[in-house]
Amino acid sequence: MPGITLKIAGEPNAELVQRIVPQLTALTCEVLEKRPELTMVMVQFVPHALWFIDSRSLAELGRNSFRLEVTITDETNTKAQKARYQQEAFALLAEEIGNLHPHSNIHVIDCKASSYGYGGVSQEYKLYHP
């Protein structure tokens, strides 16, 4: 089950979220071979004046940015899959958000199966108790 947290610089924009979430879910499921019905996405907006790069706010820089965190179970994806995901997710978000600062970033978080789960049960438990 991937847990996706997307932080976007700017004011809340429901139209943008409605465009991005299905595309990001589909990309995550295709590239990282995950199941869409188990994919959770949370989107948060941070005002440009409260997002800093090199001690300068995005408001001052006149740019947009994002931080995408995708939590997956460790050892379920290859380096090549994660590299492809980084490239394609960045391209998708650059297209949808626009005017991105180059330090916009993606973090694929590999969690141990015993430390990660849903429904009160770890991924490790699910592996051994199908």
Question: Which residue, 125, 15, 7, is CA-closest to 66?
Answer: 7
pLDDT at 74: 92
On whether the 3-128 domain is CATH 3.40.30.10, my answer is no
pLDDT tens per residue, range 88-97: 999 999 999 9
Average of per-residue pLDDT values in the chain: 95
Domain residue ranges in the chain: 3-128
Contact between 31 and 81 (Cβ < 8 Å): yes
What pTM does this model have? 0.92
Contact between 99 and 92 (Cβ < 8 Å): no
